[in-house]
Amino acid sequence: MSTIHPVDPAFAARARIRKDDYERLYAESVQDPEGFWAKVGERLDWAKKPTKIKDVSFDPKNLHIRWYEDGTLNVAANCLDRHLKERGDKVAIIFEGDDPDESRKLTYRELHAEVCKFANTLKHLGVAKGDRVAIYLPMIPEAAVAMLACARIGAIHSVVFGGFSPDSLAGRIADSQCKLVVTADEGVRGGKKIPLKVNVDEALKRPGTNSVETVVVVRRTGSAVPMQSPRDRYWHNLMDGQSADCPAEPMEAEHPLFILYTSGSTGKPKGVLHTSAGYLVYTSYTHECVFDLREDDVYWCTADVGWVTGHSYVVYGPLANGATTVMFDGVPNHPDFSRFWQVVDKHKVSLFYTAPTAIRALMREGEAPVKKTSRASLRVLGTVGEPINPEAWEWYHRVVGESRLPIVDTWWQTETGGILITPLPGAIATKPGSATKPFFGIKPAIVDANGEVQEGACEGNLLLTDSWPGQMRTVYGDHQRFIETYFSAYPGNYFTGDGARRDEDGYYWITGRVDDVINVSGHRIGTAEVESALVAHPKVAEAAVVGCPHEIKGQGIYAYVTLIAGESGSDELKKELVAWVRKEIGPIATPDYIQWAPSLPKTRSGKIMRRILRKIGENQPDQLGDISTLADPGVVKSLVEERLIK
Ligand code: ATP
Ligand code: MG
């Protein structure tokens, strides 16, 4: 049914991990997890080497997850100090601003000095081990500096995406009782200014935020902003007097590293807590294997540090590996739709990691903006965040990758800390739309409607039957919610909340969130599959599919369709799309309703919010739930007005 893209033999010949290595290491990792992860753990510098590697129980009555428990280390020292001898002058961070004329580079030595100075600043401001620090910054190096400075002194950071409103920021500050906020005067995205400091002022007027004693303000645009004495302090003034010497204190392996809220696609965001050693072992190891990292690579992940991808694969994984990582403070369409590829050429990026939403948006603009750039430096392309439609995958491969680059479609979650299901570019043949095979140590299982584990080719809810070092440890301040959300539906297992299909080759296909599965006359239909069929039509740019009430079938299929630039919707085209889906998938997937959508409601990280579309399709527009993490709440209004069931 699906196309297979074999591994390029030339790539495999030089790859870190080849097919037989993958099979051998995978078998080892699941047969002897303790031995396997003990060995992998040696990649870090420990103050005290761990002797207890794994202590985990997924039993809801006795739930605990501990890795490398008796070891101690410092995360910042692993990302900085240990590289100084051999890589002191290597570039750690390439900053690329919103304005294409603005870029700057920091070597490992420079980054180390900045982090030490800010760690001393934090101490000077009374921040101690275990205190929470909110970071509300643009994608500037100071964001990484602040994160690593917290790690250096054992403070727990909570990064809040700079696009969030004062209310969202206030909720997150209150939830974890932050003592300090690091922000900037303003951010700049796509040429537009974002009033970060003013947002912080607003947020701190909200109830529950009294814990904040200090606001540190980075000068980004230099605009005058209200400063409230003695609470508000400028970053550069504070840093000026500080020493660049700040010994890294060893932390217990399970000392909390950060809190990060999930994207809010399915409901109120959860404050996911990650700890130190296991997280760093897992993110650095996956980063090295999945991207086939080499010493001279220039690696660029376009995610914002406000999302887990920005934590694990812009900051911690790459820096622990001594890699050069790009921090991009812009958007894909500014100044024009070639921007990504111009940045690739400018900095000779070799490893590139982005999201399906960006790929679909670029695809909508055609090939010309891509083709006028070289992209010759690229070696591996990656994607994360949503299922990638095979159509978009093929475009990414053919147009961006000139049909020569491997693509890694990486499935994971905020909760998982790092990548769990993914191809390894030198080892695993790819099928567009499939995240392919589990990473080392990952044991997926698929259960049917009765909770029975299925063997062979099957489809159902996706579970993980055992732990891995990067797994979240709790929901901050609400351990009960942690147990209920992830461990109560299938006791003894971690429930991902996603549905998946496993094919005859053992490849995994994420079918979407379990809440989004549609049951048409007793047949389970994944939203991802119908959406991919629609997107494969030449006039369709993007589609979102939800279930709706249907007298005969139980549930019907309700599709929201965005057309490519220049096309307009007609009844004729609706008929054509219905016929198209019937041909691509079968009559069972026939859309009952097609609503033209000028655009779709998305989270700020670019994921389609189907739970909102479902309420509109069910004619319950007064029950949309939490929409605070929507990128543009205005989109919802017109969809509600033009809904087809009233
Ligand atoms: P919330 O948990 O608050 O509803 P969220 O699930 O969107 O928000 P994230 O942790 O950012 O928060 O996203 C993880 C989810 O994204 C996964 O559970 C999965 O549904 C989806 N996802 C991520 N990567 C992929 C991928 N490569 N293929 C398919 N789905 C993916
Ligand atoms: Mg989730």
Determine contact, residues 253/70, Cβ cutoff 8 Å. yes
Pull the structure tokens for residue 107.
């070597």
Query: Is the pLDDT reported for residue 6 higher than 70?
Result: yes
- The residues, any chain, with a CB within 8 Å of residue 526's CB and separated by 6 or more, are 459, 499, 501, 511, 512, 516, 517, 518
Residue 625: pLDDT band (50, 70, 90) is: confident
Predicted local distance difference test score (pLDDT) of residue 217: 98
Query: Is the pLDDT reported for residue 516 higher than 90?
Result: no
State the pairing for strand pair 180-184/214-218. parallel
Tell me if 501 CB under 6 Å of ligand 1.
no
Among 62, 203, 69, 84, CA closest to 136 = 203
- The residues, any chain, with a CB within 8 Å of residue 169's CB and separated by 6 or more, are 134, 136, 160, 199, 200, 203
Predicted local distance difference test score (pLDDT) of residue 266: 80
Query: Is the pLDDT reported for residue 522 higher than 90?
Result: no
Among 262, 354, 381, 515, residue to substitute to test ligand 1 (most atoms within 8 Å of Cβ): 262
Exposed / middle / buried, residue 599 (Cβ in 10 Å: 0-12, 13-18, 19+): middle
Among protein residues, the one whose CA lies closest to atom 31 of ligand 1: 386
Q: pTM for the full model?
A: 0.95
Q: What is the mean pLDDT of residues 55-62?
A: 97
State the alpha helices, DSSP H only, in 5-95: 9-14, 19-31, 33-41, 75-79, 84-87
The helix (run of H) or strand (run of E) holding residue 360 is helix 356-363
Distance CA 43, CA 284 (A): 9
Determine contact, residues 162/187, Cβ cutoff 8 Å. yes
Distance CA 438, CA 427 (A): 12
Residue 469: pLDDT band (50, 70, 90) is: very high
Q: What is the mean pLDDT of residues 176-187?
A: 98
Among protein residues, the one whose CA lies closest to atom 17 of ligand 1: 413
240-267 core/surface letters (b: 16 or more CB in 10 A; e: else): eebeeebebebbbbbbbbbbbbbbbbbe
Tell me if 353 CB under 6 Å of ligand 1.
no
Sheet holding 444-447, edge to edge: 444-447, 458-464, 494-502, 508-513
Q: What is the mean pLDDT of residues 193-209?
A: 97
> Which of the residue ranges 107-121, 178-192, 422-436, 505-519 would you say has the lowest mean pLDDT?
505-519
Relative to the alpha carbon of 353, which ligand is closest? 1
Determine contact, residues 461/494, Cβ cutoff 8 Å. no
Q: What is the mean pLDDT of residues 308-315?
A: 98
Q: What is the mean pLDDT of residues 129-157?
A: 98
Tell me if 545 CB under 6 Å of ligand 1.
no
State the alpha helices, DSSP H only, in 467-570: 479-487, 527-535
Determine contact, residues 341/375, Cβ cutoff 8 Å. yes
Ligand 1 centroid, distance to 502 Cα (angstroms):
18
Q: Other C-beta atoms within 10 Å of 61: how many? A: 8
Query: Is the pLDDT reported for residue 552 higher than 70?
Result: yes
DSSP string, 94-149: EEE-SSTT-EEEEEHHHHHHHHHHHHHHHHHTT--TT-EEEEE--SSHHHHHHHHH
Tell me if 266 CB under 6 Å of ligand 1.
yes
Tell me if 22 CB under 6 Å of ligand 1.
no
Q: What is the mean pLDDT of residues 405-425?
A: 98
Among protein residues, the one whose CA lies closest to atom 27 of ligand 1: 411
Tell me if 187 CB under 6 Å of ligand 1.
no
Residue recorded with tokens 């579970």: 463
Query: Is the pLDDT reported for residue 357 higher than 90?
Result: yes
Pull the structure tokens for residue 410.
């990486």
Pull the structure tokens for residue 372.
């006028």
Query: What is the residue-averaged pLDDT of the chain?
Result: 96
Percent of the chain that is helix, strand, coil (3-state, to 5): 35, 25, 45
Tell me if 470 CB under 6 Å of ligand 1.
no
Among 401, 462, 543, CA closest to 5 = 401
Q: Is 337 left (phi over 0), alpha (psi -120 to 50) or beta?
A: alpha
Residue 517: pLDDT band (50, 70, 90) is: confident
Based on DSSP, count helices (H) and strands (E) in the chain, helices before strands.
22, 30
Pull the structure tokens for residue 645.
């069931």
Predicted local distance difference test score (pLDDT) of residue 204: 98
Relative to the alpha carbon of 604, which ligand is closest? 1
Determine contact, residues 438/33, Cβ cutoff 8 Å. no
Among 471, 510, 532, 630, residue to substitute to test ligand 1 (most atoms within 8 Å of Cβ): 510
Distance CA 527, CA 589 (A): 10
Query: Max Cα separation, the chain?
Result: 73
Residue 1: pLDDT band (50, 70, 90) is: low
Atom of ligand 1 nearest to the CA of 422: 27
Q: Is 301 helix (H, G, I), strand (E, B) or coil?
A: strand
